[in-house]
A and B are shown apart, each in its own frame.
Chain A
Amino acid sequence: MRRTLLATTLLLATQAGADTPVLTVYAGDYFTSEWGPGPMIETGFEEICGCDLQFATGDLLPRLLLEGERTKADVVIGLTSDVTAKARETGLFAPHGQDNSALTLPIEWTDDTFLPFNYGHTAFIYNETTMDAPPASFADLLDMPDDVKIVIQDPRTSISGLALVLWVQAVYGEEAGDVWSKLAPKILTVTKDWSASYGMFTDGEVDMVLSYTTSPAYHMFAEEDFTKKAAIFPEGHYFMVETVGKIAQTDQPELADAFMAYVLSNDFQRMIPTANWSLPSALPADQWPEGWAQLPLPEKVLFYSEDEAAALKDQAVETWRNALSQ
């Protein structure tokens, strides 16, 4: 039934042609692949909007910065909190117009420009069949024998790598340099992006990988593999969020507003966990898909605001680079 509906919608969409208003949504590259959240969001929104949602993918922020005023985007989805400051500076974005009190994030969110649609936390993932004594805290991790090997991402090229550097900064502050020196012998290597690190972990090259608290969910629900676990640290975990923003000079302001409202709708939020393998931003845990509420999550959540992060970032990365270059 759903399939015929989809087929009819597609047919109508093509027939209607120029009469149907088009909402152009810029999205991160992973978003629109057949296993990503894009296709479901497109179908869901087109059912209610009487419009044609078109995704354009690519490197979000660089593309926006290059296009500037000429951008064809009406809405931009997938900006992470570490780039929102740069995105805000462009002056391209309008207030999101939604009620932040609908959000169920573990931190307070007051930004009226960028609206979160999912979140997660940084975490080290291990395989419980090969690791007998996983670290129970960040301090434990530092005291592990040096033959326990971890792989992390480079904070200069990867968002999760940058989050790790800020995580260490948030937990240890001034001592970050010493922490990195202690961690250095255990860091087998540093990769350009998350994919390469995670591939090394699943191939058994390392004992632990820097990833997200939600990573075990993929293995549990998509592969029925219950051996991958996130090590939860009482010192807290760094919060990572993806947001959606509305372009101020959009030629489809109503549609853009409707999309922003759709992002907070139950339909949208329920898709996020299994389509994006992250936690929904505006859905109480008791309404998460089955099994998700049992996912171990940190009690303490650490987060730097955009301005704090911008002020700390360069020095934190430099501390990391110095300690690991010794």
Chain B
Amino acid sequence: MAQRAQPIIGKTGIIAGGFVLAVVLLAFLGIGLRADVGRGLGPAEWAAIRFTLLQSALSALISVACAIPLARALARRRFIGRGVLITLLGAPFILPVIVAVLGLLTVFGRSGWANVALEAVGLPSISIYGLHGVVLAHVFFNLPLATRLLLQGWQSIPAERFRLAAQLDLPPKMIQRTLELPLLLQIAPGATALIFVICLTSFAVALTLGGGPRATTIELAIYQAFRFDFDLSRAALLSFIQLGLAGGAALVALWIIPNIPVSAGLDRELRRWDARGGFQRLHDSAVITLGSAFLLLPLFAIVLAGLQGLPQMPTGVWRTAGNSLGVALLSIAVLLIIALPMAGWIASRRAGGAEAIGLIGLSASPLMIGTGWFILINPIADPVPLALPVTALINALMALPFALRILVPPMRDVLSTYDRISRSLGLAGWSAWRWLVLPRLRAQIGFTAGLTGALSVGDLGVIALFADPDRATLPLQMYRLMGAYRTEAAAGAALLLLAMALGLFWICDKGGRWRAEA
């Protein structure tokens, strides 16, 4: 009877994964039903594919490379306001694109703060427009995500390890090799793949900061095919290519992730005896200061502009804020129902390739999924009342890969550490979730819920395709204000959006860590 034992959890995860696949594939089917044979791909589309690959790869690599020192510095320092700083550093990730771009331009633009400062000391000015601008913006968006993913990893190293290392008087180099490197190998490839996929679907940022049509991405071509040429077959073809690139990246990254069992500690407070030296202290302070300046200054610019605009905000904005909150809460619920079983399923498998399923919701353009489902629903029912639930579902799918990236590694640890004792106690299925997994993953679940809520609040989503006047969300209302010359009121709405997203994130994140070790 050498049969491999059944995993203690995992069956429902297959259903959840199947559901995600079905949502995306049925959307493609919907498009396929209506697509005529359009023109194929021309040189412009191929140029878009090349540029998309280049900027995504650069953005992903640089984001993760910058995140490593920042996460390490944050992991080994304790200072007043650290918790608040970490929450604030997460903000760029959830900002609506147009808000973030204007914030970045206030700092790095032609007449931005950086150039004013450079001019004051007699240095030549910098231009943000070009490939480097695209990468800079994408690092701004994604450095927070990479930092948080790595920080979670660092905090998952049991405190006993560092205590032991200190007792053995290991030099910092050795600690890096024995404790930190395995961790990086486990987290960095997945984080890089994830950011690569996020950047694949970027388009307004890439175009604006790329300085023109040189910076055309696949997503722009999809948008053009849908909205301007109404060439559904070309849109579907481009979406498939985008999906393929994302899937390829995900498979490469996730299959090479080594499965490193980390034995559990006693959840003591983390103390780093190895990092007490003056040089390291100075180095960490410099990294934290630089990273914070880069991430917080544009945020500060958004807050400044928003404060001026708040009094001019029409009252209707508040109603749309209510809609957005509803969508966000629904997204969180949907996400947790899908992500937890999927994470359990993936974590109990040896290879991580299944996590790629999680990425398809993000890499298939939301416009594409929304349109596909509109076509499917329309003959049966009126799609308009379903606009908000569908938006919530699509937002949840977009957040799924982040959720999996956050949940799978600790889930893997819990399952491998407690596998034997669970079996001998007969703990499986729901009771394994209830007594073993959920309590130990509280912090990560809170983080995931917060991230999903915040992303959902900030995302324009598919609502723009078929919103009716009463179902507008806050980002849509903000775009409407901008479209009606009310730039200042729109800045106010952007500030409200930022506050809501951060608030939601903070409450969920804090709730998850409440009375637990941070």
Enumerate chain A interface residues (CB-CB to B < 8 A): 29-30, 32-36, 38, 55-59, 61-63, 65-67, 70, 72, 86, 149, 154, 156-157, 184, 187-196, 198-200, 202-206, 215, 218-219, 222, 277, 318, 320-321, 324-325
Contact = CB atoms under 8 A, between A and B. Distances in A.
Contacts of A204: 111
Contacts of B468: 55-58
B447 interface: no
B482 A199 contact: yes
**Residues of B in contact with A, size category:** 35 or more
A35 B484 contact: yes
Given A65-B230, A205-B111, A33 B480 contact: yes
B484 A33 contact: yes
24 contacts: A29-B480, A29-B483, A33-B480, A34-B316, A56-B469, A57-B468, A59-B464, A62-B371, A62-B465, A66-B378, A156-B228, A157-B227, A189-B210, A190-B211, A192-B220, A193-B483, A196-B204, A196-B482, A199-B490, A200-B102, A203-B105, A203-B109, A205-B110, A218-B485
B487 interface: yes
B213 A192 contact: no
Given A56-B384, A59-B464, A190 B213 contact: yes
B98 A199 contact: yes
A154 B211 CA distance: 11
A86 B231 CA distance: 12
A196 B494 CA distance: 14
B230 A222 contact: no
B213 A277 contact: no
A70 B44 CA distance: 35
A30 B44 CA distance: 31
A218 B476 CA distance: 21
B232 to A, nearest CB: 9
B124 interface: no
Nearest to B382: A72
Contacts of B184: none
A196 B208 contact: yes
Contacts of B315: 34
Contact of B469 (A55, A187, A196): A55
A61 B230 CA distance: 9
A222 B378 contact: no
Given A61-B230, A72-B382, 11 more contacts: A29-B464, A55-B469, A149-B110, A156-B213, A199-B487, A203-B105, A203-B487, A205-B105, A277-B485, A321-B213, A324-B212
Interface in B362-393: 371, 374-375, 378-379, 382, 384
Interface in B442-494: 464-469, 472, 476-477, 479-487, 490
A81 B312 CA distance: 33
Contacts of B316: 33-34
Given A56-B468, A59-B465, A66 B129 contact: no
Nearest to A154: B207
A190 B129 CA distance: 10
B106 interface: yes
B434 interface: no
Contacts of A199: 98, 102, 482, 487, 490
Given A189-B211, A199-B98, A66 B47 contact: no
Most buried by B among A56, A57, A72, A191: A57
Contacts of B476: 29
Contact of A191 (B44, B112, B208): B208
B363 to A, nearest CB: 20
B106 A203 contact: yes
A280 to B, nearest CB: 18
A63 B106 CA distance: 36
**The 9 nearest A-B residue pairs measured at CB:** A195-B482, A32-B469, A58-B466, A156-B224, A192-B204, A218-B485, A190-B212, A324-B212, A321-B213
